[in-house]
Amino acid sequence: MNSAFDEITRLAPDMHQLVRVTLRLLTALAIGTAIGLQRELTHKPAGLRTHMLLGLGTALFIVGAAESGMHLDSLSRIVQGLATGIGFLGGGAILKLTNEREIHGLTTAAGIWMTAAASAAAALGQIAVALIGTLLGLLVLIVFHKLEKELGHLARKDAEVHSRSDPNPRDVA
């Protein structure tokens, strides 16, 4: 019985380690929540829960490895694997519509990748970098989305003006 108790107490982290790990994981979860909430509010396919799990999962890979005592070269391979794997996951979010000649999901894929990158930074203890990156990512998603809409609205108006002024529009391909 003593050996089982000894094993459990040996595996339990000290308070300093517990706080450090918890802070890193909670930061990654907050990053996923912030990006995911924005995506959810704009009715995008990869929303709140997806980004939360992605951020937490990314951080768990890194924190788990780092806390087990892995060397930096081994951690760098984990980060490389995550970057590749998340890129593949994001690739699944991209949809090409051949008839309309449109591609959808690029921003979703980029948001997934950005969430993973910020979560990895948090997991590595770079919390300020992770939070600054997240704020900049949210700036892009929120502010520039409005700018894109306005530019698209202006482009549609411009196209309408040109189509009214040219009674015989030609299909130039």
Residue pLDDT tens, the chain, 173 long = 577 777 766 777 788 999 999 999 999 999 999 999 999 999 988 899 999 999 999 999 999 999 989 999 999 999 999 999 998 888 888 877 777 777 888 899 999 999 999 999 999 999 999 999 999 999 999 998 888 888 876 666 666 666 665 555 554 44
Q: Given this model, what pLDDT does residue 166 score?
A: 57
The confidence score (pLDDT) of residue 102 equals 78
Whole-angstrom Cα distance, residue 40 to residue 25? Answer: 22
Question: pTM, whole model, 2 decimals?
Answer: 0.78
| pLDDT value at residue 23 | 97
From residue 165, how far is each of 21, 104, 159, 170 by CA, in Å?
Answer: 64, 32, 10, 13
- Buried/exposed 57-89: b ≥16 CB within 10 Å, e otherwise: ebbbbbbebbeeeeeeeebeebbeebeeebeeb
pLDDT of residue 132: 98
Measured CA to CA in angstroms, residue 90 lies from 58, 86, 100, 134, 147 at distances of 14, 6, 22, 18, 24
Q: What tokens appear for 38 in the block?
A: 């924005």
CB-based contacts of 48-52 (< 8 A; 24+ apart in sequence): 50/112, 51/111, 51/112, 51/115
In sequence order, what are the residues at sequence separation of 6 or more whose Cβ sits closer than 8 angstroms to the Cβ of residue 139?
Answer: none
